[in-house]
Chains A and B, each alone.
Chain A
Amino acid sequence: MAKYVCPRCGESVETSGIVTVCPSCHADLRGVVAEEQHARTRRAAAELLRDDSVTTHEYIVRTRGLTRIYRMGDVEVSALNGVDLDIRRGEYLSIMGPSGSGKSTFFNMIGGLDKPTAGSCYINETDMAQLSAHELAWQRCHTIGYIFQTFNLIPVMTALENVTLPMIFAGATSDEMLERGRLLLELVGLEGRLHHKPSELSGGQQQRVAVARALANQPAIILADEPTGNLDLHTGKEIIDLLKELNVESGVTIISATHDLKMIDVSDRIVHIRDGKIERIERREDIELEVGTLGGEQQ
């Protein structure tokens, strides 16, 4: 519940955002609510970024000297070259870099989809390299939700079946699965498309199914590798908004690779990588500050 002041009658209104009409004068409060929402996002981000010291914050992902070298015959390509990065719980982190800079490789490492050549990656302070195959599968099933550029839905399954698949692995009962699956799809705006195959859905709709699927087992982290890469501007924006709202509302950590400047708007931090190394890390505060200064100078 949050308190708002009605812009027309000045009455103080308390709502969780479900009722968006002033009870006394019936003025439309949606604008005010949305603004408050943005303010809350900023506050949350600010709070997350308030303190940089390792001791006071809980990190959900930490990497130390993460290195991945691909060997092809005699040629060695080092796709990652000693990456040290700490990612806070609830953070919205964007990873930017030119093609071939190692973004996907980095994702594979923290997602437990590939093993590093050297260095280590900790999720919830657990070294991924120490996990057994079963624990790793458990981690992929429960802790991490994956979103891909190419959507990667199972083509022979309907939207609902795609969303419930991770729940099957997690051992949910079929009633639970159906209920949760329906709810998730409804919440990403696909209530009319439950029984459609991926081939019968648009790109944006497929990606929304993928988002719902990523949320199936209440993950702590969502890993999105260029989630808007195959979508047009508008549809891409919808997906980004959806991710951001999830991030703000449920505190799920979002780590996303992107070329997309829209994505940067919503990020708490932006990590620029080049040739497998972290080039620089920007904080949103800094960017906002820059924008603010620029605006000031122009006046």
Chain B
Amino acid sequence: MTISMMDVKRLAEISGGGGRRAVQVQAQISLPWSEAVRISIKNVILRLGRAAITGTGIVLGIAFLTYVWSDAVFSDGVKRAALEQERILAAATESVKGSAVEGQESGASAAEEAQETKAKLSLQQQEAAAEEERGARRAWLVVMALLVCGIGITNSMLMSVTERFQEIGTMKCLGALDTFVVRLFLIEAAVIGCLGSFVGLVIGFLFVMFFYSIKAGFSVMAKVSWPQLLLYMLLALLIGAALSLISAIPPAVRASRMPPAAALRTEI
């Protein structure tokens, strides 16, 4: 291929006289968010393998979180159902008792009833305390799990960044500021975080639903507080995205601070 004269003429024309131009207006260097998002999403799609590795951490973490939370909501539902059942039963026996032996041994029965309520109350208290402890242990477990996930994400992000040192160096040669590099990686992390959280959410929820419909029958579904569950899920999604984002900050900042010469030299 040889470049024809015409081509070079036009090229020369549009490349503006090789900087012989008068002093240009100093424009800002910029990377619009829309472009940054486009590039980042493309990066996620085209490096799906790498994104999947990073995302697995999030998927597992959020699946666990969702499991714990939906488990709590579901067991609440089951308990409520049981309580209701009990109340109905109690009302039934009461009415039966009342109609059968009217006015008889009313004093003795009152004392007995008081005793019974007292015992029930202390049992309830005990149960509440146990529940509280279980809740605390659960929270601790969740925090630990998320922490481990965060470290996992940081690690795999670090690898993903290292793989792309050359690319980062090249971008800087083309005029990218450090903040652009950070921005691109963080958007990518947020996208992976959202996708991973969603998958984790579905997995965690399906697991719990499956478990309870076996244990307590499909009828539990009616007793579960869906608004609460939805709220928890939204929260889990947010936590997943935030976790991914926060975990990606150290590697992204590290990559962006590298002098371009050093970044370009790295070989993988």
Contact = CB atoms under 8 A, between A and B. Distances in A.
Interface in B1-46: 1-3, 5-21, 24, 26-32, 35, 39, 42-43, 46
B217 interface: no
A169 B175 contact: yes
B176 A115 contact: no
13 contacts: A90-B18, A108-B261, A111-B173, A113-B261, A114-B259, A140-B173, A141-B29, A166-B174, A171-B27, A187-B7, A219-B19, A245-B3, A250-B18
B66 interface: no
B9 A154 contact: no
Contacts of B174: 140-141, 146, 165-166, 169, 213, 216
Contacts of A16: 9
Given A148-B264, A170-B27, A249 B11 contact: yes
B259 A156 contact: no
Interface residues of B, number: 52
B97 to A, nearest CB: 77
B166 interface: yes
Interface size of A as a range: 35 or more
Interface stretch (A95-103, A130-138, A261-269, A271-279): A130-138
A294 to B, nearest CB: 29
B18 A166 contact: no
A113 B11 contact: no
Contact of B18 (A18, A171, A213, A253): A253
Contacts, number: 163
B47 interface: yes
B262 interface: yes
B172 A155 contact: no
The 10 A-B residue pairs whose C-beta atoms are closest, nearest first, are A220-B19, A141-B175, A252-B18, A249-B12, A114-B261, A250-B12, A17-B5, A251-B18, A218-B16, A169-B175
Interface of A: 16-18, 20, 33, 37, 60, 89-90, 108, 111, 113-115, 133-134, 137-138, 140-143, 146, 148, 150, 152-157, 165-166, 168-171, 180, 183-184, 186-189, 213, 215-221, 238, 241-242, 245-247, 249-253
Nearest to A107: B261
A169 B47 contact: no
B35 A168 contact: yes
B102 to A, nearest CB: 85
B242 interface: no
B170 interface: yes
A154 to B, nearest CB: 6
A163 B13 CA distance: 18
